[in-house]
Structure 1
Amino acid sequence: MHDILSSDNFLSPIIISLKVATIATLLSLILGIVLHYVIGQHSFPGKSIIESIIMLPMVLPPTVVGFILLIMLGKQSMIGQLIEQLFHQPIIFTIYAAIIASTLVAMPLMYQSLKIGIEQVPQSIINAAMIDGAKKTQIYKQIIIPLCKPAIMTGVLLSFARAIGEFGATLIFAGNIPGITETMPTAIYVAIENNEMALAWGWVAIMMTLSFMMMMATQLLRK
């Protein structure tokens, strides 16, 4: 049992999962802040439609998200062909594909947490800063973002938990290549199919522990 859990076959999906989830969370944070600054701070026709599109990956089946990514960025698409010309390889079935898939499903949680946190910032503080001559960018960077740090941290934790548990979109868009794109969720699926229950239990235990820690931290932040 100890030999199995210390083998490269067991450790590789853990390392890949942590790498993918960490980068996806960072990208979700950057995208969430940028999108909210561009969209959330302004009122314009069609805003509700754009925000609905941003939130769509949160409610769509992950396999649908993976299928859309495959169509948009696959070898037959214009974007996919451009990427292949620039980098001399397709993006599908690479770790970058896993990162994109995880980012896409995690980012709505970040955006929603950020939106809720910013809406709770007192308007009087923002108005006072505007009277003092502060620009919108300054207000956003120096007042709004610091005041909603708990909401941002909640978004980070939820995004990480979602990214590390991503399965369907990753399997379709990135595949399940050992040592390259095999994350813990896909490794669990293969292990169960091959009746390798010790491996499956090991990954399940790690994912349950990580998810529990993320949820506990989220609850503490909300208090």
Structure 2
Amino acid sequence: MTARPTPSHEPTGPSSRPRWRGVPVVPLALSALLVLFLVLPVQALLLRGLSAQFFPTLLRPVVLDTLRISLLTTGCTMLLTVLLGTPVAWLLARYDFPGKTVLDTLLDLPIVLPPVVAGVGLLLAFGRSGLLGAPLELAGISVAFSPAAVVMAQLFVAAPFYLRTAKAGFMAVDRDVEDAARTDGADRWTVFRFITWPLAAAFLLEGLVLTWARALGEFGATILFAGSLQGKTRTITLAIYSALESDLAPALVLSAVMVLVAFTVLAVVRRLGSAHTWR
């Protein structure tokens, strides 16, 4: 008897996906239109911004002031986000309490609110005529239209990105590992410092990167609550808007910088996402 050949099976997974040879024409054409629409403006920005005048324009005092303010304010925003947001994310991930769903929704609300609405809300809360304006004025503190207002506007719109990602990171930590450490005599802070924090670190870093990118690109809430004062509250996005009315060169250079920063941030986030996906 001759042995019957074993039936061959089609491979499963990414290698079994159809090759380009059989791609339908209509989806391919529609995809090409969308890709061109999304890529062409970015390409135009890079072509105009990364010219021979890129570095001379980048070194102008006005542009350097803008970069300095943006880096300082976003740095403060990230620090406050970690200090204030990490405990909130940990509590939301680990404990159930009355009103948790409502609180979770309120903390996510700035993500979907228009930035202009956020700016109006900050003015009504912390401006001179706001809810806390009079007590702050009595204490000699003027918040609106100051560098502190820039940080507050960035924190309001950007911190929820960290909260969401950090909460997911803390929820992903294996509770059995923490319980084993407590059984061995570790206190709550030791467990958090040496077990919970390191295991959730990829999520936390991803959230922090997203927070920084959102804070760097903030415009609407900042211009309403902090204004656009050169050398004081004018960030990169405000400088781009202002330069469009007078000198186009700084606007082009700063726009190119923002494109490069955004691409880098997305690459880092994707890398971090892959890291904790394959863990």
Q: What range describes the TM-score normalised by the shorter chain of this pair?
A: over 0.9
- Where does 1:90-169 land on structure 2 (aligned, <5 Å)? 90-169=142-221
| 1:65-105 per-position Cα deviation (integer Å, ceiling 9, x unaligned) | 1111000001012422222222x341000000000110111
Q: 2:265 aligns with which of 204, 214, 218?
A: 214
| Residue of structure 1 in register with 2:132 after alignment | 79
Aligned-pair CA distance for 1:59: 1.0
Paired residue type of 2:76 = I
Alignment correspondent of 2:86 = 33
Distance in 1 (CA, whole Å) between partners of 2:214 and 2:199 is: 25
Structure 1 unpaired stretches of 5+: none
Change in 2 beyond 3 A, CA 1:129/1:84:
same
Q: Tell me whether 164-173 or 128-137 shows the greater mean CA deviation.
A: 128-137
Tell me the equivalent position of 1:23: 76
Structure 1 contact 25–106 (Cα < 8 Å) conserved: no
TM-score, normalised relative to structure 1: 0.92
Q: Retained in 1: the 8 A contact 2:166–2:207?
A: yes
Tell whether the 8 Å contact from 2:213 to 2:265 is kept in structure 1 after alignment.
yes
The 5 A counterparts of 1:53-72 are: 53-72=106-125
Query: In the aligned structure 2, how far is the partner of 1:220 from the partner of 1:112?
Result: 18
- The answer as to whether partners of 1:157 and 1:218 remain within 8 angstroms in 2 is yes
Greater per-residue helix proportion = 1
1:199 aligns with 2:247: no
CA RMSD between the two structures: 1.7
Q: 1:95 and 1:146 mapped to 2: Cα distance?
A: 33
Q: Which has the higher contact order (CA 8 A, sep 6+)?
A: 1
**1:50 matches 2:103:** yes
**In 2, distance between residues paired with 1:81 and 1:142?**
44
> Which amino acid in the other structure matches residue 99 of structure 1?
V
Give, as a single letter, the amino acid of the residue that structure 2 aligns with 1:101.
A
Deviation, 1:24, is: 0.6
Deviates more, 1:135-144 or 1:102-111: 135-144
Deviation string 1:90-144 (CA, Å, 9 cap, x unpaired) is 1000000000110111111111111111111112212323433444443323321
Equivalent residue pairs, number: 221
Contact 1:81 1:90 (C-alpha < 8 Å) held by counterparts: no
Separation (CA, whole Å) in 1 of partners of 2:233 and 2:84: 23
Moved over 6 A (4+): none
Larger Rg: 2
Distance of 1:8 and 1:42 partners within structure 2: 50
Moved more, 138-147 or 95-104: 138-147
Counterpart among 213, 231, 238 of residue 179 in structure 1? 231
Residue identity in the other structure for 2:68 = I
The question of 1:170 aligning with 2:228 is answered no
Query: For 1:137 and 1:80, how far apart are their aligned partners in 2?
Result: 37
